[in-house]
Structure 1
């Protein structure tokens, strides 16, 4: 999934965000992802949401 989001083979330290989640590549084994750190992103407040014109998760549908 991370490769699809980035559009390439990732490198250690790359970060991809998707549907309110952040995925950081922690370790690579040649061209294979070995470890990924997944973290839930904080939801934006309704005031920030109205400014940006999206929903709280900012997820593409």
Structure 2
């Protein structure tokens, strides 16, 4: 016996909220990793190389 679509929707009431919570937690974790990476000495050198490359590409260096 299958449940009606209305009964199925009622059973999944909190699913959307849980999905938002998981995505928010993943985004915060990814942001933390990016901050740690880009504030490190290696990350700063990488950013400098990228900016120097693009400045040279458009003729400002």
Using the size of structure 2 for normalisation, the TM-score is: 0.22
Q: Which has the larger radius of gyration?
A: 2
Name the structure with the higher helix share. Answer: 2
